[in-house]
Amino acid sequence: MAKLVMQLDELSCPSCMQKIQAGVSQQDGVESVKVLFNASKVKAEYDEAVTNPDELTQAVTDLGYSVQSIKVK
């Protein structure tokens, strides 16, 4: 399992957090998603054989949020 941390700049309400968590967790290969509302970060664990950071970043962008940076662990 690989880990990804995305820094966002637009988390303004708890419903945003739920929307992102639901949207990213639906992506194939995603094991877990945690949205840190106060830090405006999304942490995801995923299977590298099924998905990649670009696809997960695009999933967040498709939901209407801007990803400022990503860190792959």
Any idea what the CATH number is for the domain that residue 18 is in?
3.30.70.100
How many structural domains does the chain have?
1
pLDDT of 1-54, one tens digit each? 999 999 998 788 889 999 999 999 999 999 999 999 999 999 999 999 999 999
All residues at 6 or more sequence positions from 6 whose CB lies less than 8 Å from its CB, including other chains: 41, 42, 44, 56, 57, 60, 67, 69, 70
pLDDT of 56-73, one tens digit each? 999 999 999 999 999 998
Structural domain containing residue 65? 2-72
